[in-house]
C-alpha cells in the first residue's frame, strides 16, 4: 500500500502548504466551543441599521432574486461612484471603474489574481490583516514585509522607517498592499506618509492596492485620506471597500474595487469566473445604505469611540499594555506582564480558563516571533458584551 501521506500530498496544490487556515476565524470557533466572550473576530454583535435591513427585505419581496450584472448592480455602482466623490473628491465612472465582489476579501484576491505574475513581489506592511499573505501566495506573488514599529508610549503612533520601505521596492515589485485605517493597529496613514508611498510607487512603477474598509470608523480627529486622491496615483491605485464594517453587515458579503478601466477589466474577468456575482438583493440594499445621511457616519464613529474608551481602561486594569487605536475597532496590546511563553499559550489560556477569545499577535506577522508578545482585542461589541469580558479579564494575574 502506498504511503498515505505521500499519496495525500500528491492530490494537493503546493500553494496551500504555505499557509494555514485563518487564526482569526479559528478563534471564533474556539470561543463558541468554550462559551467564551468573543473579542477575536471583528464582527458586530449588534443590529445593522433598520433602513438597510428594510431595503434588503424589499429587494427580495420585489424579486431581485437572480444574478445581478456580474461586476455589480447598476444602482450600487452608481452609489459607490457618487460616494467616492463626496468622501474623497475622486471622480469615478461607475460603468468602467467599479467591480462589486463577494466582500472585500474576494475583491482583494480577485485584484491580486488580476495583476500578479509569478515572480512578482507585493509589499505588505506588518502587522497585517492575515488574508494578505495567503492572497499573495495564491496569486503567485511573493510577499515582502515592511514593519510598522509599535509606539514607545501607549499614546504614540505605529510608524514605518522610510529606508526600510524603500529597500523593499525594486524592479520585481508589482504592488503594495495598504490598509488604512489599519487592522490590527488602528493606524491612520497620514497624508505625508501616503505621499512618500506615492513617490515610491511612481519611481518603481508600482500599483497601490488599498483596503479602506474602516474608512468611517475613525477617532480623535484623525483624517482618512485615500491614496487614489493624491496626484499621480489615480492611474495606479485599486481602492477596496465594502458594506461589512460601515453598515455592520459582515455576513452579507458585499465589497468592491474602484480602479482605472484597464485594471477594472482584468479584475472583472477574475471575479466573473470566481463567483459570478455578489448577492443581488443585498447589492440593492447596499445602494440604499450608501445613501444614508452624513449624520449616520458621525454617529457610527462616535459609538465606536465610546466602545474603545470602554474596553481600553478594562484591558489596562487587567494588566495589558494597550496601544491606543486612532481608527478601526481593534486594540493591539502587549502581554509581557503576564509572563506566558508566547501569544498562543496566552490566548489558549484566555479562551479556556478566563472565558475571553482574542487573536494571537503572531497571526499578524510573517515571523510568529515578532507577534509573540502581542494580542488583539476587537471592540465592535455591545456595552454588556464588553463589560462581561472586562469582568472576566480581571481574573488574570499579572506576574
Ligand atoms: N476583518 C475581521 C478581523 O480582522 C474579520 C474578517 C473575516 O474574518 N473575514 O477580525
pLDDT in tens, 99-147: 999 999 999 999 999 999 999 999 999 999 999 999 999 999 999 999 9
User: Which of 256-265, 311-320, 379-388, 390-399 is predicted least confidently?
Assistant: 390-399
Nearest CA to ligand 1 atom 5: 42
Q: Is 38 in the pocket of ligand 1 (CB under 6 A)?
A: no
Q: Which atom of ligand 1 is nearest to the CA of 105?
A: 9
> Quick one: pLDDT band at residue 96, thresholds 50, 70, 90?
very high
Rg of the chain over CA atoms, in angstroms?
Answer: 21
pLDDT of residue 1: 46
Q: Which atom of ligand 1 is nearest to the CA of 378?
A: 10
CA 42 to ligand 1 centroid distance, Å: 5
Q: Which atom of ligand 1 is nearest to the CA of 183?
A: 4
Task: Using the predicted structure, report yes or no on whether residue 290 has a pLDDT greater than 60.
Answer: yes
Mean pLDDT (whole number) for 46-64:
98
State what percent of residues in the chain have pLDDT above 90. 91
> Quick one: pLDDT band at residue 202, thresholds 50, 70, 90?
very high
Preceding omega of 181 cis (within 30 degrees of 0): yes
CA 129 to ligand 1 centroid distance, Å: 8
pLDDT of residue 246: 98
Q: Nearest-CA neighbor of 42 among 381, 360, 383?
A: 381
The pTM score is 0.95
The 10s digit of each residue's pLDDT in 12-23 is 988 888 888 888
Helix axes 383-393, 294-318, angle to 10 degrees: 10
Strands 37-38 and 121-126: unpaired
The C-alpha atoms of residue 87 and residue 80 are separated, in whole angstroms, by 10
The C-alpha atoms of residue 290 and residue 121 are separated, in whole angstroms, by 35
Nearest CA to ligand 1 atom 3: 42
Q: Is 25 in the pocket of ligand 1 (CB under 6 A)?
A: yes
Mean pLDDT (whole number) for 249-257:
98
Q: Is 244 in the pocket of ligand 1 (CB under 6 A)?
A: no
Amino acid at each position: 500500500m502506498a504511503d498515505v501521506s505521500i499519496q495525500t500530498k500528491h492530490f494537493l496544490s503546493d500553494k496551500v502548504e504555505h499557509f494555514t487556515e485563518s487564526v482569526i476565524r479559528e478563534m471564533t470557533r474556539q470561543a463558541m466551543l468554550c462559551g467564551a466572550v468573543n473579542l477575536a473576530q471583528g464582527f458586530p454583535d449588534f443590529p445593522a441599521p433598520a433602513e438597510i435591513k428594510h431595503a434588503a427585505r424589499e429587494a427580495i419581496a420585489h424579486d431581485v432574486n437572480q444574478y445581478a450584472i456580474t461586476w455589480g448592480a447598476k444602482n450600487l455602482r452608481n452609489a459607490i461612484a457618487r460616494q467616492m466623490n463626496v468622501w474623497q473628491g475622486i471622480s469615478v465612472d461607475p460603468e468602467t471603474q467599479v467591480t462589486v465582489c463577494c466582500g472585500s476579501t474576494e475583491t482583494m484576491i480577485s485584484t491580486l489574481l488580476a495583476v500578479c505574475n509569478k515572480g512578482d513581489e507585493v509589499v505588505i506592511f506588518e502587522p497585517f490583516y492575515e488574508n494578505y499573505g495567503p492572497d499573495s501566495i495564491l496569486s503567485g506573488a511573493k510577499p515582502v514585509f515592511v514593519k510598522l514599529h509599535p509606539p514607545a508610549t501607549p499614546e504614540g503612533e505605529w510608524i514605518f522607517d522610510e529606508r526600510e520601505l524603500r529597500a523593499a521596492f525594486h524592479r520585481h515589485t508589482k504592488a503594495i498592499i495598504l490598509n488604512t485605517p489599519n487592522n490590527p493597529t488602528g493606524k491612520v496613514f497620514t497624508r505625508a506618509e501616503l505621499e512618500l508611498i506615492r513617490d515610491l510607487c511612481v519611481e518603481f512603477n508600482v500599483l497601490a492596492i488599498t483596503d479602506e474598509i474602516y474608512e468611517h470608523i475613525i477617532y480623535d480627529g484623525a483624517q482618512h485620506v485615500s491614496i487614489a486622491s493624491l496626484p499621480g496615483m489615480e492611474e495606479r491605485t485599486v481602492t477596496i471597500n465594502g458594506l461589512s464594517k460601515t453598515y455592520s453587515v459582515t455576513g452579507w458579503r458585499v465589497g468592491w474595487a474602484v480602479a482605472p478601466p484597464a485594471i477594472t477589466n482584468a479584475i472583472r474577468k477574475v471575479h466573473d469566473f470566481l463567483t459570478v456575482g455578489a448577492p443581488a438583493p443585498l447589492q440593492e440594499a447596499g445602494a440604499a445604505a450608501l445613501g444614508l445621511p452624513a449624520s449616520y457616519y458621525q454617529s457610527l464613529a462616535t459609538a465606536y469611540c465610546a466602545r474603545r474608551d470602554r474596553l481600553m481602561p478594562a484591558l489596562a486594569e487587567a494588566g495589558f499594555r494597550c496601544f491606543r487605536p486612532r481608527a478601526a475597532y481593534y486594540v493591539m496590546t502587549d502581554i509581557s506582564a503576564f509572563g506566558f511563553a508566547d501569544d498562543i499559550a496566552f490566548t489558549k489560556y484566555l479562551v479556556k480558563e478566563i472565558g475571553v477569545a482574542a487573536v494571537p499577535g503572531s497571526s499578524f506577522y510573517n515571523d510568529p516571533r515578532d507577534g509573540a508578545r502581542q494580542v488583539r482585542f476587537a471592540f465592535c461589541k455591545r456595552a454588556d458584551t464588553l463589560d462581561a469580558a472586562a469582568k472576566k479579564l480581571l481574573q488574570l494575574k499579572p506576574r
